[in-house]
Amino acid sequence: MVTDSERAQLAYALGIDPAQVPGALDRLAAAATEEYLDMVLGRHLPRRLEELREQRLVLLVRHLFAGRLPTEEQVGRIFQLTPTQSRALLRGVMAKHRYELADAVRATLDDTLRRAYEDVEAGVWEVTADAATIDTINAELAAVDGSLPQVTRRRGTVSQYEIRPSAYQALRDLLATGPG
């Protein structure tokens, strides 16, 4: 069904190992099935291309990405968009589907904080992430307490970010307390 070349291309587009492609195809099929069921049953009928992309991204979050938010790069490769377009798509989905994606936001936040490491000398937590994930984290911080310091890009890096201890603790507390 899928050639070795296509398997490699799919692995690259999805940001996974080629051995994981069969499982990813099963999850893509589940997302597609849900999209077609929505169409046939008259649920969530998009009227514009952007609405269709948003709907598909929500389904991919639910099925392909196992309830985690994809990176801007993954969105760009899957939908064949520029970085600016993929960021706009992610932002649009987050704005319109905030409550539907609340668990995905929390899971992504948890994954991101688990990858963070403490730089004791600098007095910050550091993590590598994409800008869309950091935007989402900063929105969560703002919702908790607008006076908390935002997560900021580490000087001289492309995707290394610093989290001040008060913000890190507030995010950990948010995860510990469960949905608001």
Cα separation of 158 and 60, whole Å? 26
35-93: pLDDT as tens digits: 999 999 999 888 999 999 999 999 999 999 999 999 999 999 999 999 999 999 998 99
- pLDDT recorded at residue 179: 59
Cα separation of 36 and 177, whole Å? 37
More reliable by pLDDT, 2 or 153: 153
Give me the percent of the chain exceeding a pLDDT of 70: 98
Mean per-residue pLDDT over the chain, rounded: 93
Q: Model pTM greater than 0.75?
A: yes
Residues 6 or more apart whose CB falls under 8 angstroms from that of 2 comprise 10, 21, 25
Give me the percent of the chain exceeding a pLDDT of 90: 86
Backbone φ and ψ for 157, nearest 5 degrees, come out as -120, 160
DSSP 3-state of 160: strand
- pLDDT recorded at residue 45: 86
The amino acid at 156: G
User: Could you state, in order of their start, the residue ranges of all structural domains in the chain?
Assistant: 4-100, 104-177
101-132: pLDDT as tens digits: 999 999 999 999 999 999 999 999 999 998 88
Token code pair at residue 164? 């001040």
- pLDDT recorded at residue 64: 96
